[in-house]
Structure 1
Amino acid sequence: MLQFALWRIAGLWWTLFAASLVIFIVIEVLPGDPAQVMLGMSGDAQSLGALREQLGLNAPVAQRYLTWATGMLHGDFGVSYTYSVPVADLLRERLTVSLPLAAIALALATVLGLPLGVLAARFRGRLSEAGLMAGLQVGVALPNFWLALLLIYVFSISLRWLPAGGFAGWEKGLWAGLSSLLLPAVALALPQAAILARIMRSALLDVMHEDYIRTARAKGLSRQATLWRHGVRNAMIPVLTVLGLQFSFLIAGAVIIESVFYLPGLGRLVFQAISQRDLITVKSTVMLLVTATVLVAFFVDLAYAAIDPRLRKAPR
């Protein structure tokens, strides 16, 4: 297990290094002047020169990359040109919204999706399974922004149970923060739960045709016991892959939901930085999102090894 983990850690660092190079090259090295992009067509030569000096664009390319990369290792992501504050402060502030939102949405999707997938596999070929699969198909097809608007109409406008938008802030209490994130989390979680349930059903049906399942049944183990003791655990590997991808999507890809509910999250920060041509913020935020995605993939690999001991024997 230790050898497996060390191999994956080495791969993690190489992936982050390659990602940082790609991000740096795309934003600062490819044809085009980042300072000109940030100032737009109205920038004069004096302002352009001052901004290039502020961004360090007059330094050699290798030095600029090393300064940016080593700065990130020490928590220095640069200073936002638009907000005139350290990018690290912006990221820290937005993560207090995006991380709880993603965690709540993923928890809801898991709690709903996995049992529904097991039930769909358990009652395969019955009328109840057909109805359940039809409902899951609807859940996959529903756009989450439309679902968000429906939730606002029902729970905010009609019932007045939860706020329709904005973020109250954690300093006003745990419930104030959670109530601001609950509807967005549900809007994100329901389509993801439907996807997760379909993946769980397919993986479980594949596993239930394996030889060891037939052996367990031949030894007298009931169908339900075989399903839960052997089937679900072995079906979790593709499900864990989907869970990892979902968490990365929920952190970085919730920009539409954050816009509908007017949440100051990380996805919305990227959108605002792109529209305001704040390339420093874009570069550092994208690198943070890549790091989060790679870390999630790393922990998913460790979960693979915990579920399937065969993966610990040799690096793959």
Structure 2
Amino acid sequence: MTERHPRTAPHTPRPARRKRLAVYLVLATSLTLCGAAYPIPPHPGPGPAPEPVPDSPAPADVLVPGEPREPGQVAYLMDTPDQVLPPLVYEPTAAEEAVEPAEPAAGVERLVEYVPGDEVGAVACSRQAGPYQRQVERWLKLAIDGKQSAADCAAIRRFQTDHGIRPNNGFAGPTTWGTMRLLSARANPNAAGRCPVRRSRIACVDLDRQIMWVQNGRKVTFGPVAVRSGRPGYATRTGTYPVYWRHKNHWSTIYNAPMPYAQFFSGGQAFHAIYDNIYSTGGSRGCVNLTYSDAKRLWGALAQGDPVHIWGRRPGA
């Protein structure tokens, strides 16, 4: 429809204009509540750098990163939303495709454990049972009682030291358990047969274990790697979906946040990188998050049209 100039537009009676305005307001409210947005042109670039997020004390019963951020390191708002409706699909220019997304700051991808607020840098060996105490005890072949002991702490510390998890204070947190879960899956991630075996490529997302991989037939061609899926109220949808659009420099116009190496498969849900700890205790808002390094490699391991099969449920979601 061609937009008319106000002076040449036909006269509309006041009651009709009020009614039309009311309809527009209802539609706008509905779109806002469901998280959608009118299509707008893609973000031209990263814009101004986010402000540094100050560190603040946390209660003892709240898990926080066990090591502070590097001086001057900023935190992007990484919990990009499930937009419900698909993003505006367009063909990126060759110049845009040639630009790689900004790399994360040094140290962002290192394995940092989440510990109680009163144990950040304060203890050499945690006396507290972590949220994954029993799972970690079972994996390390310790006595499974869900209680932290000196022997438990020593064994957990050895594992953390061997795998570069910091701080290595023996707390059975999400990073330690997530690393164990990933190690257990490496030999044969599809041992349970939950992902369909096809003669072509398929991406497999196991929400129970918070891992994903790509397989072609029975051969694993990518991964497995750790992922972070939807938090409570924003669950990642299960089922099988095709990768319908890829944009390596995608920008969430709703939350003004980057979604590097985005590969959309269901509405606003996509694989994409985060500039954050993949084992953080909060989930995404529907997307399947990967580390920057893994998302960049996945970009070359999938193509538009490839199926994505998702099953299970994120622990706690």
TM-score range, shorter chain: under 0.3
Greater relative contact order, per chain length (Cα 8 Å cut-off, separation 6+): 1
Q: State the TM-score, normalizing by the size of structure 1.
A: 0.25
Higher helix share: 1
